[in-house]
């Protein structure tokens, strides 16, 4: 499932948009960053090729969607427990911010895969340090992810494709309650088409 709007809103709020490359707050220019938290680790665009470029918000949004697809892949690979769309989104945000290696080795993942959803939720706030220091931005983000993870999401169901049912309309001015032949024929056609699809 793709991440939902609540996830995108969370990520864009905490990453913020910067239209130029800038040094990562925790790692400096060792990790050049642009747009909504994009780094070379996520793929193109690469810093060395675009270091003078100014990105638009539309470009930033496209880059984010592309980046998130990769991080969704990590979540799908390592998480074995069923997830609703909010739990899934919280984990994608967590992994996008902290990297897939941290998800893979986390107690959060171990508890989640053991079916301990409440225990997994309690692990989010523990990941609020960068360079050994507690950062208020990370603390707030982990709490937001924890809240999103803990909110019941509606699992999206894939709509079932059906062949169109062709019903012949009654002539104009015809009362369907009187002309039961045409109405009944159309109803029978519809019911038979349901059985064919099943």
Task: Please give the Cα distance from 94 to 37 (Å, whole number).
Answer: 13
Which of helix, strand or coil describes residue 39? strand
Report the pLDDT value the prediction gives residue 194, as an integer from 0 to 100: 47
């991440």: which residue's tokens? 3
Residue ranges of the domains in the chain? 5-150, 160-198
Q: 42-80: per-residue pLDDT in tens?
A: 999 999 999 999 999 999 999 999 999 999 999 999 999
Determine whether 15 is an active site residue. yes
Q: What is the DSSP letter of 37?
A: T
pTM of the model as a whole: 0.75
CATH number of this structure's domain 5-150, picked from the four choices 3.30.70.60, 3.40.50.12280, 1.10.10.10, 1.10.530.40: 1.10.530.40
Percent pLDDT > 70 in the chain is 77
Q: What is the DSSP letter of 123?
A: T
Task: Please give the Cα distance from 139 to 58 (Å, whole number).
Answer: 28
Check whether 196 has a pLDDT greater than 70: no
What is the Cβ-side half-sphere exposure of residue 125, based on CA atoms within 13 angstroms?
A: 6
Options 13, 15, 59, 85, the catalytic residue:
15
Report the pLDDT value the prediction gives residue 153, as an integer from 0 to 100: 60
Check whether 178 has a pLDDT greater than 60: no
């Amino acid at each position: 499932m793709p991440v939902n709007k609540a996830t995108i809103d969370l990520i864009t709020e905490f990453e913020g948009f910067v239209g130029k490359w800038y040094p990562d707050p925790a790692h400096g220019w060792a990790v050049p960053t642009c747009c909504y938290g994009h780094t070379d680790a996520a793929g193109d665009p690469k810093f060395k090729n675009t270091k003078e470029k100014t990105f638009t918000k539309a470009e930033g949004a496209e880059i984010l969607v592309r980046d998130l697809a990769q991080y969704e892949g990590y979540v799908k690979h390592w998480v074995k427990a069923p997830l609703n769309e909010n739990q899934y989104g919280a984990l994608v945000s967590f992994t996008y911010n902290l990297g897939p290696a941290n998800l893979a080795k986390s107690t959060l993942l171990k508890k989640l895969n053991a079916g301990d959803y409440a225990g997994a939720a309690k692990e989010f706030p523990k990941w609020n340090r960068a360079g050994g220091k507690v950062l208020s931005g990370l603390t707030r983000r982990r709490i937001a992810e924890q809240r999103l993870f803990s909110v019941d999401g509606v699992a999206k169901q894939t709509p079932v494709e059906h062949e169109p049912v062709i019903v012949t309309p009654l002539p104009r001015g015809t009362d369907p309650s009187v002309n039961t032949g045409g109405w009944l024929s159309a109803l029978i056609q519809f019911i038979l088409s349901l059985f064919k699809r099943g």
